[in-house]
Structure 1
C-alpha cells in the first residue's frame, strides 16, 4: 500500500479538548455579565452555560456550587474596577493626563455599570452567609487596593496616616454616593459640577506623586 492509499484522517472530526483556563474564564465572564445586567437575584445558570458554551457538568467540575461561581465572578469584577482606578492613577503620575482629566476618569469608573453592578451585588451578598464567606477575601483585597490607589497617587502633606486614611475614605464615599445618585439620572452639567467640586474639596491640598520606574 502506498502512502496515497492510506486513509486521510479528518482532524476536524476529532473531539477537541477544551482548554480548562478558557472554560473558567468564559464561565466567569458570562456570570459577570449576567450579574451586572440582571443582578444577583436574577442570576440563572442556563443562560451562563449557553453564553459560555459549556455543559452543566463542566461548570460544576470547575466550581463546586453556584455560589463558588458567583464569588469568582464577583472577585473578577472587583479586580477590573480596581485595575481601572490604578490605571488612572498611573496616567496622572506619569503626566499623561492632568488632575481634571484624572477626576473625570475616576468619576466615570465609579458611575460605570461595572461599579454600580458590583455594589448592588455586594448588597445582595450580605444577606447570604455562605456567599459572604466566599467573597470575604476578594472584598478585603479590593479595600486594600482602593486605599493603595489613593496613597500611591497622592501625598497629603501635614496629615498623619490616620488622617490621610479618613480623607481618602471620604473621597471614596463621595464617589460612591454620586454613583448611586446617578442611577436615577443626573441633570445636564451635574457631573461636571461634581467633578469640579470633588477636585476642589478632595484634591486641593494633595500633591501628585511621581511615577516610579
Structure 2
C-alpha cells in the first residue's frame, strides 16, 4: 500500500516495475557496457525476478531498445524546457554550449557509445530508435532556432553550427574514455568553441565585446 493507505492498482505496479527495469538497464549500460547488460543482471539490478522481466519485456533487445528510448525521451523533454526558458529570458550561445556539454557528459553519450555499434549492425534495433532520436534532435533544434530568430541569423546556417557543436562534444566525450580526470583540458576546448559560435551570431559577438569593454573600464 502507499503512504495514504490506498492500494496501488495492477497498472500502477506494472508501470513501477517497468520503470525499475528500464532504469536498471541504463545503469548497467553505463556502468558495465552493452555486452554485460544481460537479462539476469538487469533483473538483479532492478530487484525483480527474471519472470517479472520477461513478463514486461520478451527479449534483451526489447528492454534495451525501450530503455534507451525512455532515456532519450526524458532528455528531449528537458531540452524543450530549456528552450522555453531560453526564449523567455533571452539566453546566450555560451549557455547553449554549456548545456549541451553537461547534458551529453551526464551519462547520455556514454550510454550512446554502448548501443551505437549494435544499431549499426542491427536494422530492427536501429529502426526502433530512429523516431526517438528524431524527437531528440527536434528538441535541440528548438533551442538553436530560438537563438537564430533573436539574432537574425539564417536558420539553416544555425543548424550547421548546432551539428558542428554536437560533433565536437561527442568527440570530446569519446576522448574522456582514454583521457579522464582532466577537466581543464576540456574546458579550454569548450571556451575556444564558445568563441567560435559567438562569431556566427553578430549580435552575440557585439554584446560580448561590449561586456569586455565595460569590465575593462571599471
Distance verdict in 2 for CA 1:20–1:174, change over 3 Å: same
User: 1 CA distance for matches of 2:158 and 2:189?
Assistant: 22
Indicate the residue corresponding to 2:163 in structure 1: 169
Of structures 1 and 2, the larger Rg is shown by 1
Distance verdict in 2 for CA 1:47–1:145, change over 3 Å: same
CA drift at 1:39: 1.8
Q: Determine if contact 1:24/1:62 at 8 Å carries over to the other structure.
A: yes
Which among 51, 59, 69 is matched to residue 53 of structure 2? 59
CA drift at 1:93: 3.9
Instruction: Determine helix, strand or coil for the equivalent of 1:185.
Output: coil
Q: Determine if contact 1:89/1:153 at 8 Å carries over to the other structure.
A: no
Which among 126, 133, 140 is matched to residue 139 of structure 1? 133
Distance verdict in 2 for CA 1:98–1:182, change over 3 Å: same
Q: Determine if contact 1:31/1:73 at 8 Å carries over to the other structure.
A: yes
Distance verdict in 2 for CA 1:158–1:31, change over 3 Å: closer
User: 2 CA distance for matches of 1:89 and 1:189?
Assistant: 28
Distance verdict in 2 for CA 1:113–1:188, change over 3 Å: closer
Query: For structure 2, which runs of at least 5 residues remain unmatched after alignment?
Result: 1-8, 205-218
Q: How big is the alpha-carbon RMSD for the aligned residues of Structure 1 and Structure 2?
A: 2.9
Q: Determine if contact 2:69/2:129 at 8 Å carries over to the other structure.
A: yes
CA drift at 1:115: 2.0
Indicate the residue corresponding to 1:196 in structure 2: 191
Query: For structure 1, which runs of at least 5 residues remain unmatched after alignment?
Result: 1-15, 209-213
CA drift at 1:120: 3.0
Higher helix share: 2
Deviating more after overlay: 96-105 vs 174-183? 96-105
Instruction: Determine helix, strand or coil for the equivalent of 2:121.
Output: coil
Q: Determine if contact 1:147/1:165 at 8 Å carries over to the other structure.
A: yes
CA drift at 1:20: 0.9
Q: Determine if contact 2:21/2:42 at 8 Å carries over to the other structure.
A: yes
Q: TM-score, normalised by structure 1?
A: 0.74
User: 1 CA distance for matches of 2:138 and 2:95?
Assistant: 24
CA drift at 1:85: 4.1
Indicate the residue corresponding to 1:12 in structure 2: none
Bigger relative contact order, structure 1 or 2, given CA contacts below 8 A and separation 6+?
1
Q: Provide Cα deviations, 1:146-184, integer angstroms capped at 9, x if missing partner.
A: 32332235435242x433322322222122222212332
CA drift at 1:21: 0.7
CA drift at 1:205: 3.7
Q: Determine if contact 1:84/1:109 at 8 Å carries over to the other structure.
A: no
